[in-house]
A = this chain, B = another copy of it.
Amino acid sequence: MTRDARDEKLRSRIGGIAQFYDRTGRMPSFSEIGELAGLRSKNAVSKLVLKLERLRVLGRDGKGRLIPGSIAFPVRMLGTVKAGFPSPAEEELADTLSLDELLIRNRDATFMLRVSGDSMTGAGILPGDMVLVDKGQTPRSGDIVVAEVDGEWTMKYLRRRGNSVTLLPANPRYKPIRPRNELRIGGVVTAVVRKYR
């Protein structure tokens, strides 16, 4: 068997395991890996797993049980748009990551809201976009926050000057808001997500 064919075989096996994990959300057992890879012997699976551990595709936790490695991170990260698409050989070296891990720090305090209205268009937040809001973080000046002003909820830049607070839209057609009464801040916008199709 040629080197390329062996590489391809290994790759398809990794793909099979990744698919299994994607589909079920749990790691396959050794026998199941055997079925996926077409191996009858658990020893063969053992050797395969060892190899995948070295490649960081899989890992082990403190108790020696199989945990996902790079297969848990679905997106391959490349460089910049200008760099374009590297060759397949380079692609393998690229880092992989999970969007959940990238964007969510505190899962219990994080919510997703759909944006309505165009008051933040200037900041690249369009109506229909989704924003992740963290209730736990303390809002700093310059943050985009979700706040309740005089009974209505909006999303605006927060500006603090001394002890005065202003809510600044990112659209010149709207005016800054200087809340008269209390200002309830629901959370800090930590990320924006837009889906095209």
Contacts of A24 in B (CB 8 A): 61, 67
Counted per complex, copies of this chain come to: 2
* Given A27-B26, A153-B85, A190-B196: A77 and B115 interface contact (C-beta under 8 Å): no
For residue A37, CB closer than 8 A to chain B, the reply is no
5 contacts between A and B (CB under 8 A): A18-B107, A22-B107, A81-B131, A124-B194, A144-B196
Of the candidates B26, B107, B190, B195, which one forms a contact with A195 in the assembled complex, judged by CB atoms under 8 Å apart?
Answer: B190
Complex alpha-carbon distance, A155 and B83, angstroms: 11
Contact present for B113 and A81 (CB under 8 Å): yes
From A47-55, A96-104, A159-167, A172-180, the one touching the partner chain is A96-104
For residue A146, CB closer than 8 A to chain B, the reply is yes
For residue A10, CB closer than 8 A to chain B, the reply is no
